[in-house]
Amino acid sequence: MCGELDDDGPSDLEARLFAAFTVHARLLIKEATSSKHETGSVSAYADRLMGDALNRALRDSGAADSSQRQGVFSVQPLVFARLAGFLASHLPLNEDPMRRVMEAFMHGYAEAERLGASIGHDHGDGAEHHH
**CA 101 remoteness from chain centre:** 16
- Considering the chain, what percentage of its residues have pLDDT values greater than 70? 82
For the chain, the domain total comes to 1
- Answer yes or no: is 127 within a domain: no
- Answer yes or no: is 1 within a domain: no
Residue 78: per-residue pLDDT = 95
Residue 95: per-residue pLDDT = 85
63 HSE (CA, 13 A, CB side):
6
* More confidently predicted of 112 and 47: 47
Q: What is the mean pLDDT of the segment spanning 6-10?
A: 55
- Answer yes or no: is 126 within a domain: no
- Answer yes or no: is 23 within a domain: yes
Integer angstrom CA distances of residue 25 from 20, 30, 63, 91, 111? 8, 8, 15, 28, 10
- Answer yes or no: is 2 within a domain: no
The domain in which residue 24 lies consists of 12-121
pLDDT in tens, 35-55: 787 888 998 999 999 999 999
Residue 102: per-residue pLDDT = 92
Residue 8: per-residue pLDDT = 53
- Answer yes or no: is 27 within a domain: yes
- Answer yes or no: is 76 within a domain: yes
pLDDT in tens, 78-107: 999 999 999 999 999 898 988 999 999 999
pTM of whole model > 0.95? no
- Answer yes or no: is 3 within a domain: no
Q: How many CB atoms lie within 10 A of CB 129?
A: 9
